[in-house]
Structure 1
């Protein structure tokens, strides 16, 4: 099923569901939903848009502001913390500004598969992190995380084994855990703004970068790149977060409706990401736009990265504990 077909089906389901939505005692709730990505990514197509339609019949009037119009993830995180923004979907490592340990949720090779990243918040170790986040940052995580995708390395250097990362300039977001991620592979971390990544690859400022397969295709990053290496080094699922002040202003029915809608959106996004990844890979194999390398020595790469994260970092003990929790 094509992504456009799935989108229509999701919208129809949302409309049908709304016809039997219960009445709510609280007055209409106005809220702004900040999102980093543009309107074509699965986060918006399969998550945000139908979620807003569902919540309209549960007494919510939500204004979605996408494409980073409210600022970077760091800025939106601050806005949620200060109560200036009611809700957002934000990478967990962004909250390292308040607490170092939460960075661990974005550490390379923490997860073996998508099921683990979707279930990680249920572990006692992660629950303790989220409880602390609410206390120190005034940010509450609700529902299930939204899958961004399985991240892979792409660019203009062919990589098949750990030694191939030597002297490779790898673009990473400017967060400590992402910088450590590049180091864990043996690459040279090179922070570059997301908006400048295309040009950075095109001009050779960086040799490689990393992102989920659908994002590489949707953002046309495959144009300045020759190779996509299926490293699967990180599976990112972003938490749906709300300002604790906003949450406490809601009655129990609205809190439950928002939680249910966030979780339902998470399930739809996961399906859409899987479909988009399959379609993108099939397209590359058909048109030869990039060379997909899937026979790299993933065991050796994974072992080296996990060893890096397992000792010497502020969250290494938490990394090891989460690995045990998820087994």
Structure 2
């Protein structure tokens, strides 16, 4: 399925100049190992920029033996489709928000409990520590090896109905959300009308008023130009999300130990750089969107946090006491 998608779209995409330089030179290099890397974000997004940097490091360190071909903007399908392809071994690598991985195991979305992370540093410690190790073991059971935990960032809400100042302002707003059960539950409790939809469809759906709004990190809202078809931005920070860089275990096991170390080292290096890029891009994106005319509100998080407590209660059994205990530990540390 993924192979057919690539064959179908690659000539047109290359002609349009949408593939990264890494991907294009990867097509012309007789590499011993070629790793296709899929993600949903635009080429302007820190995900893509960091992957390009990582690919250059890996190619150089392996003397061209390993070439990473990067496919942004859902060129290889949506996140759920790519995640399934990764588990089946028909896609080599992927960078995902964990919400997409709930199709494999619901425990993967535990980090997205609403208002779990008061500061991004809390989340870093969790995913670089025991919580990340535990979730990596979950993915191992699905044929996926975790390389490192990057960042998607805090999610905020845009819409074209009204400014959001309090939970009640969300009532009746048709809000696009990822195909993630807990996200749907969160916005139902807040009074919105959550509408699951693939990321690749969001801009058109907003433009054509199929949905009233959406929620994403600032870097994504800006890179995807959602602010061009939305009137209001509420800095709710309701969820912090990681981006997990993964490789198919079948592919990983075929690599030499030396090349595995090179890839791991590059993933760690670019994890840190990508996190810095996300934080910096938040400030820059917000300033640019304000200049473009979007109205910005900064709601008090307290009533929102209180309102979504039933979500924590509902998923206590789903995630299990051990994982929930880790989230609470790192959230409070």
Identify whether the pair has TM-score above 0.5, normalized to the shorter chain.
yes
Is 1:312 aligned to 2:318, yes or no?
no
Is contact 2:99–2:179 with CA below 8 Å preserved after alignment? Answer: no
For 1:228 and 1:322, the matched residues in 2 are separated by 32
For 1:317 and 1:153, the matched residues in 2 are separated by 30
How do residues 212-291 of structure 1 correspond to structure 2 at under 5 angstroms?
Answer: 212-285=217-290, 287=291, 289-291=293-295
For 1:31 and 1:284, the matched residues in 2 are separated by 35
* Map of 1:124 onto structure 2: 130
Which of 149, 152, 162 aligns to 2:156? It is 152
For 2:311 and 2:197, the matched residues in 1 are separated by 23
TM-score, length basis structure 1: 0.83
For 2:200 and 2:74, the matched residues in 1 are separated by 10
Is 1:325 aligned to 2:303, yes or no?
no
Is 1:56 aligned to 2:59, yes or no?
yes
Q: How far 1:210 sits from its partner (Å)?
A: 0.6
Which of 100, 107, 111 aligns to 2:117? It is 111
The size of the alignment, in residue pairs, is: 296
Map Cα deviations across residues 85-131 of structure 1 (whole Å, 9 max, x no partner): 11111122222222222221222212122112223224434422321
* Map of 2:17 onto structure 1: none
Is the partner of 1:110 in helix, strand or coil?
coil
Cα distance change, pair 176–118 in 1 and its aligned pair in 2 (3 A) = same
Q: How far 1:205 sits from its partner (Å)?
A: 2.7
Is the partner of 1:311 in helix, strand or coil?
helix
Q: How far 1:222 sits from its partner (Å)?
A: 0.9
Cα distance change, pair 104–184 in 1 and its aligned pair in 2 (3 A) = farther
For 2:322 and 2:203, the matched residues in 1 are separated by 35
* Map of 1:302 onto structure 2: 305
Q: State the Cα RMSD in Å.
A: 2.1
Which of 172, 180, 186 aligns to 1:175? It is 180
How do residues 176-195 of structure 1 correspond to structure 2 at under 5 angstroms?
Answer: 176-195=181-200
For 1:315 and 1:35, the matched residues in 2 are separated by 26
Is the partner of 2:73 in helix, strand or coil?
coil
Q: How far 1:52 sits from its partner (Å)?
A: 0.8
Q: How far 1:57 sits from its partner (Å)?
A: 1.9
* Map of 1:70 onto structure 2: 76
* Map of 1:38 onto structure 2: 42
TM-score, length basis structure 2: 0.82
Which of 80, 91, 96 aligns to 1:90? It is 96
For 2:232 and 2:189, the matched residues in 1 are separated by 21
Cα distance change, pair 298–62 in 1 and its aligned pair in 2 (3 A) = same
Is the partner of 2:55 in helix, strand or coil?
helix
Is contact 1:223–1:289 with CA below 8 Å preserved after alignment? Answer: no
* Map of 2:209 onto structure 1: 204
Unmatched 5+ stretches in structure 2 = 1-20, 22-30
For 2:216 and 2:120, the matched residues in 1 are separated by 15
